[in-house]
Amino acid sequence: MHAIGAVSPEAVSNFVRERVEVSHVEIGAARTVFPNVRIKAGDAAKSYRIDVVADGPTTRLIVRDITPPPTPEGLSEEERWRRAGMTPDGKLLNPKQLQ
């Protein structure tokens, strides 16, 4: 999700901070990053990355869903490696695929 508006980055960051659970925030000169948050009123299983970016007279708010995909159940360890394109000893199944 992207949103752009004529609001100060500080106001947007404070708005976000009140509505998420976060362990730490990365604050820079032109960007504030909430790298791994859960939305207080949202699904507890979902994780998001939120960027608040100063962009001249406007501020951009970028929200990305970073929830890892669910692990398929009932697969053997060998089948999980195969689906990842590798053998159980960490070698590529098809080395020519990378070319």
- 3-class secondary structure for the chain? CEEEECCCHHHHHHHHHHHEEECCCEECCCEEEEEEEEECCCCCCCCEEEEEEEECCEEEEEEEECCCCCCCCCCCHHHHHHHCCECCCCCECCHHHHC
pLDDT at 78: 87
**pLDDT > 70: percent of the chain:** 97
The pLDDT of residue 55: 93
Q: Which residue has the tokens 């504030």?
A: 32
Q: What is the mean pLDDT of residues 40-61?
A: 96
Segment 19-41 mean pLDDT:
96
